Amino acid sequence: MSARTAVQGVVRLAGPRLPLVSFLARLPAALCPTGTLLMVTALDGVGRGGVVAGLLWGGQAVGGPLLGRLADRRGHRPVILAASLANALLTAALVVASVGALAPAVQAGCAALAGFTVPQIGPLSRTRWIALAGGRRDGHELVGPALAFDAVVDETSFVAGPALVGVLAWAVHPAAGLVCAAVLMAVFGTVFALHPTAPAPAPAVAAAAPTAAGRTAAAGRVLSGPLLVLIAVTVLQGVVFGAANTGVQYLARGDAGVGGLVWSAMGVSSAAAGVLLASFAERFDLTARLRTAVAAQAVLLLGLLPVDGVAGAAVAVGAVGFAVAPALIAVFGLVERVAPAGRMAEAMTLLGSGLIAGQGLAVTGVGPLVGAHGPLAAFAPACAAGALALLLVLALVRLRRFPPARPAPAPALAAAAASS
C-alpha cells in the first residue's frame, strides 16, 4: 500500500473534517505548558513559572486516564464536551489570576485544575480511529495507516504549538498563547466532541470483552503486564523529550522563539517518518517495528552528546525525530492488542499520561543541573532514558506477549463504530 493510498483509505473512514478538527482540538495541549511557563515567568519570575507550569503538567498526567475511563463508560460526546468547556474556563481563570497578580496559591490551583481537565485529544483520537476501522471489513489493514496518520497530526500540533506561543508572546502579550488555547479548546474541543464519529458508551459487557487479539480481560484489569510495559516505554520516551528539550532551551539562552524553532526540527522529521511509514508499515509486525525504532532512537540520541550550539542541536534533534513517530505509532498500535475493547480510551490516555509524566519528571530533575553543568547534564539523561527503553523493549516486547489482532473486527469496536 502506497502512502497516498493509505492516506486516502484513512480519510475515507471519517471524512476530511476529522483530521483538521482533531488537530485544532489537540493544539491547546501543545500551547498550554509552554504558554504557562512563558506567561508566569514574564509576569512573576522563572521560579514561580516553573512551579505553575509543573502543576499544570501534573494535572494533565493525573486527569487524562480518569477522563479516558469516563469516555469509555459514558461515551466521547458528553465527557469531551464537558472537559473542553471546563478547561477553557479554567485556562481563562489562570490567565486572570496571573495577569491580576493574585496569590501564588490561586495561580497554582488554577493551573492544576486546568491541567486536570485537558481532554487528551491525541489518545482519544487514536481510540476513535480504531473504532472506525473496526466497523469495516478491511479495517484491520487500515488500523496501522490510521495510527500513522494520527501521529503525523500529533507531531504537527507539537511543532506548531510552541512556535505559535512564542510568536503571540512576542507580538501581543505573554498571556496571548493561553488565551488562544482557551478559545481553541472551547470551539474545537466542542466540535471534536460532537463529531459524528464519536464512539457511544461501551456496552456493559465490554468490561469483560475480548481484546483485539482475542483474549478476554476481566473488569478492572486494564493494567495488564503488557500494558504496563508500554506505559513504561512512554514514560521513558517522555524523559527523552523533556531532558533533550531542556538542553535545547539552555543552548537557546532562554530565547523561546529560537528554542521552539530548534525543537521543531524533531517534529518535522518525525512527521515525515510517519508519512513514509504508512507505505510499508504492514510488512513488519508492530513488535519488531518498536524494537527497531527504539534501537534507532538510542543510537541517534548519542549525536546530542557533543552538541554545544543551536545549529548542532537542530541537526541532532532532527535526526532523532526520524525514530520518534515509528516508535509512538508502534506503541499505541500495540495497545489495541492488549487492552480490553471496552477500556480502549482509558488505556490510550494512560500512555498519553506516561509521556506527560516523563516530560515533567525530566524537566524538574534536569533543569537545576543544566544551569550548573551545561547542556550535557540534559542530553546525557536523554541518552540514558533511550538506552533503558531499548533494554526494556528488547527484553519484554515480543510477539508472544503481544499477539497480532484477529482479522475480524472486535465486536465491541464494531458496535461503537456502528452507533456513532
Residue with cell 481484546: 211
Please give the Cα distance from 56 to 6 (Å, whole number).
Answer: 37
Average pLDDT over residues 302-309: 93
To the question of domain 3-419 being in CATH 3.10.20.30, the answer is: no
pLDDT at residue 253 in the model: 76
Given a contact cutoff of 8 angstroms between Cβ atoms, the answer to whether 416 and 134 are in contact is yes
pLDDT band for position 122 (cuts 50, 70, 90): confident
CB of 281 within 8 A of CB of 148? yes
- The full set of domain ranges for the chain reads 3-419
223 — pLDDT class (breaks 50, 70, 90) = confident
Q: Count other C-beta atoms under 10 Å from residue 280's C-beta.
A: 12
The Cα-based distances of 7 to 10, 116, 321 in angstroms read 5, 33, 21
- Confidence check: pLDDT of 414 > 60: no
Residue written as grid cell 469516555: 71
- Between 398 and 203, the higher pLDDT residue: 398
| DSSP assignment string, 218-235 | -TT--S-HHHHHHHHHHH
CA distance 33 to 251: 20
Gyration radius of the chain over CA positions? 20
Spatial CA neighbour of 114 closest among 183, 157, 162, 53:
53
Q: Measured between alpha carbons, how far is 173 from 194 in angstroms, rounded to an integer?
A: 32
Contact 122, 345 (CB under 8 A): no
Average pLDDT, the chain: 81
Beta bridge partners of 216: 210
| Residue pLDDT, tens place only, 317-344 | 999 999 998 898 889 889 888 888 778 8
Place of cell 478476554: 216
Which amino acid is residue 161, in one-letter code?
A: G
What average pLDDT does range 140-159 have in this prediction? 74
Residue-level length of the chain: 420
Each residue of 374-402: b (16+ CB within 10 Å) or e?
A: ebbbbbbbbbbbbbbbbebbeebbeeeeb
The pair phi, psi for residue 216, each rounded to 5°, is -85, 150
Cα distance between the two ends of the chain: 28
pTM for the model stands at 0.79
Task: State pLDDT tens for residues 3-38.
Answer: 566 666 666 777 778 888 989 998 898 888 878 877
Q: Is the pLDDT of residue 216 over 80?
A: no
Question: How many Cα atoms within 13 Å fall on the side-chain side of residue 298?
Answer: 19
User: Sign of torsion, CA 394 397 401 402?
Assistant: negative
Q: Tell me, what's the pLDDT at 202?
A: 66
* 41 vs 308 pLDDT, higher one: 308
Angle between the N-to-C axes of helices 121-134 and 310-338, in degrees from 0 to 180, rounded to the nearest 10 = 40
CA pair distance 310, 312, nearest whole angstrom: 5
Q: How far apart are CA 260 and CA 250, in angstroms?
A: 12
The fraction of the chain above a pLDDT of 70, given in percent, is: 82
